[in-house]
Structure 1
Amino acid sequence: MTKLAYLHEPGVLENLRSRYDINAIYTYTGNLLIAVNPFRKLPHLYDSHMMAQYKGAAFGELSPHPFAVADASYRQMMNEGISQSILVSGESGAGKTESTKLLMWYLAYMGGRAAAEGRTVEQQVLESNPVLEAFGNAKTVRNNNSSCFGKFVEIQYDQSGRISGAAIRTYLLERSCVCQVSDPERNYHCFYMLCAAPPKDIQRYKLGNPRTFHYLNQSNCYELDGVDDSKEYIATRRVMDIVGISNDEQDAIFRVVAAILHLGNIEFKKGKGIDSSVPKDEISWLHLKTAAELLKCTTSLIWTGTS
């Protein structure tokens, strides 16, 4: 303790390097868990064997871990009958999204197996993550899967401690990222997934190569290493089925996503009136008409709303 006054940057870096070498990426400060992003997969830290070890263990008895935080929260909820909250905070690229997944995995593991029309409630809770990531995550300078929004996830349990439902509230989606992207970042994943959809869906939503859309070609990054956007699109549709989003609702969602891309390709020129504008050329009018068709409204309705 007496040496803390001499803590310096080389010492901190050496500490972090030592932690990386032994995969000790977690530590406690009181009842807070601090995580260091290892920037690599550590599957052995998060398997079912690890979950079983932390189940019912006293907080601090085992090595620091998100499972310990989740278990302590679950036990306190069951013992005292009081709702619990776990706050996950950190800067971009710190690992908030992955830490939240781990907490949800453990809480779903503790929630038992409540059947719901052929699929479990906990499966629906866990499968909600890919949907949120598709429409709320993007590649940034620091992170290939950065969550550009805040979310409040509420997992509901019955008196026996089994999951009975869940609610997800989204806050502060960074809408400015839709229309302006800096190199080498990418826009939200859903745009690229839809552009890589099967041919019938490409035709249905009137899309094509992402390089042809202004909201996507401001950056030279169109693909992510190790990620197949066409497969991600199919997986996202499957997950939307699991969480109960109907085909009509899915179609409406992707029509809006496609319409946004077409709206971004409309260029304007000065109109006849003061402070007025009109689409610049036939190409802009074509994108306006396409957006109107996707949104199932007339061009005049869109034009009135955007003029």
Structure 2
Amino acid sequence: MNDHAPRQLPPDTLAGAVARCATRLDEAGVAFGHGTDNPWDEAVQLVLGVLGLEDGPGIAERALADADWDTIAALLERRIGERCPLPYLLGEAHFAGLRFRCDRRALVPRSPLAELIESAYAPWYAGPPPRRLLDLCCGGGCLGIAAAVHAPGLSVVLADLDSDALALAAENVALQDVAGRVSLRRCDGFEGLAGERFDIILCNPPYVDQDDLASMPAEFTHEPAAGLGAGTDGLDLVRRLLPVAAEHLEGHGLLLLEVGNSWPALEACYPRFPFTWVELERGGHGVAAITARELRDHAAALAYNAGAATGQD
């Protein structure tokens, strides 16, 4: 044991802090997937998040006080020791260019649907300028709130069964100052939305299958299990939603449904449905663009498969 090993000096710039953090994260073998996918980007998010700074020209060479490094180092050790997602430790997440409050009441915002929100749903939405949008299974509300911010004329409903998640969503509505156009609804799927139609429905439901859920890294165990797992094949909730989704879309409407790794299971469940899988420039997969017309034209097949999966005639 070497009691006389020289103490490593604190880094004196933000660039040095990021490099030191990235090395530690890499050596510790932490898992990513909550807004970043590599040690360097995670280190940037950690350092800037602790200091309350935004990335920009010249920031890398900004001087770093020893006290600030102590704070950064303490959070770094928590990230490694607790295997907790960084946004939970920071209390915030960045999504679609916006800052959201983030804690264990809801999943960390990370949906690839952000790319479609920012592109105004092109080329998938072909109707008139959308007036109403539903964020179904909204969690902390990042999708619907981002949609409202990016389209100032849009009215949005945030819907979720979990009252804790809705409480977080309400805080984010206030944070982004969109309360005049965004309302919250506690409901199980489409229940509680009878008679309501929307131009666009964004749906990021629980979709992780049994095998993936069992093998997820420790970081994901900090998130609400009900927001991730959805039965053996990950489609327990999706099978309930698809047969009735057309009832809640205008004739020109569009459903954007995210099912991640469960997309092969969804195709196997509905082999005659013409799923269109969106190619995403920023990464991600398992996002289907489904029109109201497709849902109506294939209603019989959707209803049959939903019944078959639950053992009904």
Q: Please give the TM-score of this superposition, normalised by the length of structure 1.
A: 0.29
**Structure number with higher relative contact order (C-alpha < 8 Å, ≥ 6 residues apart):** 2
Q: Please give the TM-score of this superposition, normalised by the length of structure 2.
A: 0.29
Larger helix proportion, structure 1 or 2? 1
